[in-house]
Amino acid sequence: MWILIGALLFLLALWVSAFVVPKLRLLHILQALIYITVMILARRNSAWGLGVGIAVAVFWNSLQLFVTHNMQRGFVLFWSFLGTGQLRQLDTIMVALAWIGHCILIAGCLGAFFKQPTTGRNWWKLVGGGAIGLGYLAFIVAIALPRR
């Protein structure tokens, strides 16, 4: 259930962001495929899907927290909206929502993984899924990220 909630929160943030910033639509459509795949594979108790969910979410959250700082800006803008009622930079606020969704997704994927028998083979599937997910993310960013 937590994997579903986390993935759906991230998908909601992708949808709103794609609506607000049309040039991100292709990237966000391709990125949404990651979370749909994670939900399907997690439902099947696949360590591959759990690895994708963990790795992509950790990477994306780290990028937003330590490199772009969009997560912090998103929370500041959301807090400002609560205080003033003025909604500004909705796409940046969606980064904060997506970050929360990823935190839930990470916890859900970790919980699901440790409910499985943690054999060496499952660990390799988890790591392999993570590598595949990060490779796909790098590929879609390379082909679909808007250039200035």
Tens of pLDDT, residue by residue over 87-136, are 888 888 889 999 999 999 999 999 999 998 877 889 999 999 999 999 99
Number of domains in the chain: 1
Per the CB < 8 A criterion, the answer to whether 71 and 96 are in contact is yes
Host domain of residue 44 = 2-144
**pLDDT tens for residues 2-11?**
999 999 999 9
DSSP for 77-146 reads: HHHHHHHH-----HHHHHHHHHHHHHHHHHHHHHHHHHHS---HHHHHHHHHHHHHHHHHHHHHHHHHSP
User: What's the pTM?
Assistant: 0.89
